[in-house]
Amino acid sequence: MSEISSSHIKKIGIVGAGQMGIGIAYVSAVVAKRNVVIMDTQQKQLDGGLKFIDGLLKKEVSKGRLSEAEIPDIKGRLQVTTTTDSFSDVDFVVEAATENPELKAKIFEGLDKAVPAGVVLASNTSSISITKIASSTNRPEKVIGMHFMNPVPVMKLVEIIPGIATSPDTLAVTRHLASDMGKTVTTSNDYPGFIANRILMPYINEAVYVLMEGVGTKEDIDTTMKLGTNVPMGPLTLADFIGLDTCLAIMRVLHSQLGDAKYRPCPLLINYVNAGWLGKKTGRGFYEYPAK
């Protein structure tokens, strides 16, 4: 049997025009040179996403990594929509909606009806069971996890997670597509948090406990970990960048699915989310981010 490739994938559908969805759209159109249709129920979100991509393209031109002549072709590959009607001819779908199991189940149930049979449906979930998501469809063998890291245009990793029913062909074509996007691929079994967040989120959660218990200030916690362990940013800064709501959602998945008290979300993290202090995206988290 010949090696499976992603060359047949000409058009990628993306669900969600948030930071992750727009980042995935960017690498799909710019690096992988695929046509992309981005779906979001909010036109304002789509408009903001296209504006963000435009800013990234201008930055790439200013740094000499893209030429002005390439920009019209790249923009021509991008299409936006508020319904999945435009997904009738896509060859691959990546869902990048909020980290909510019920929402993802609803989305995949709809995609299963809107997208041609045989098309792979990938989820950018960072912790939710791919096997569970796949059960919302009639094509579980074509459902897979494709966990990009934030910010997508910069971070080199894609963590791929096959569910219990995911076929070897689906895994192979997804790995090839991620490579076409310029990413390095790792594969995780379908366990809560996968590899990245099974390790990362308890680390962040413990840093919040250290803050809550008064062991150190947020600045001392971040500086200690940044300079003491040679990470690019401290855990509290990283949490603000990821989004405290996302961190909490992942910790709740780990706690409920693994049943171990060590994954209990820190009460201070819960309070910050309840206050709407979600990090950089809202202007306040553990740190404040004045509007520019």
Residue 155 labeled ligand binder: no
pLDDT at 120: 98
Verify that 66 and 183 share a domain, yes or no. yes
Confidence of residue 188 (pLDDT cuts 50, 70, 90): very high
Verify that 224 and 177 share a domain, yes or no. no
Verify that 30 and 148 share a domain, yes or no. yes
pLDDT at 73: 96
Verify that 50 and 182 share a domain, yes or no. yes
- Measured in degrees and rounded to the nearest 5, phi and psi for residue 14 equal -125, 125
Verify that 92 and 223 share a domain, yes or no. no
Looking at 166, 187, 208, which one is the last position of a domain? 187
Residues 225-233 have a mean pLDDT of 97
Express as a percent the part of the chain with pLDDT over 90: 95
Residue 158, helix vs strand vs coil? strand
Residue 58 labeled ligand binder: no
Looking at 131, 158, 187, which one is the last position of a domain? 187
H runs (alpha helix) in the chain: 19-26, 43-62, 71-76, 101-114, 130-134, 168-180, 196-212, 218-229, 235-242, 244-258, 267-274
Residue 4 lies in a domain: no
Residue 292 lies in a domain: no
Cα 37 from chain centroid?
Answer: 17
Residue 207 labeled ligand binder: no
Residue 51 lies in a domain: yes
pLDDT at 4: 77
Give the domain extent around 270: 197-282
Give me the chain's average pLDDT, please: 96
Strand pairing category for 143-148 and 157-162: antiparallel
Q: What is the CATH number of the domain that holds 211?
A: 1.10.1040.10
Encode pLDDT of 95-154 as tens digits: 999 889 999 999 999 999 999 999 999 999 999 999 999 999 999 999 999 999 989 999
Looking at 187, 218, 249, which one is the last position of a domain? 187
Verify that 86 and 204 share a domain, yes or no. no
Verify that 76 and 135 share a domain, yes or no. yes
Verify that 216 and 148 share a domain, yes or no. no
Verify that 36 and 175 share a domain, yes or no. yes
Asked if pLDDT for residue 292 goes beyond 80, the answer is: no
Encode pLDDT of 237-266 as tens digits: 999 999 999 999 999 999 999 999 999 999
pLDDT at 163: 98
Residue 121, helix vs strand vs coil? strand
pLDDT at 3: 61
Please tell me the total count of domains within the chain: 2
Verify that 145 and 16 share a domain, yes or no. yes
Verify that 208 and 147 share a domain, yes or no. no
pTM (two decimals): 0.91
Residue 54 lies in a domain: yes
Asked if pLDDT for residue 87 goes beyond 80, the answer is: yes
Verify that 159 and 201 share a domain, yes or no. no
pLDDT at 2: 41
Residue 5 lies in a domain: no
Residues 157-164 have a mean pLDDT of 98
Would you name the residues annotated as active-site residues? Answer: 126, 147, 159, 197
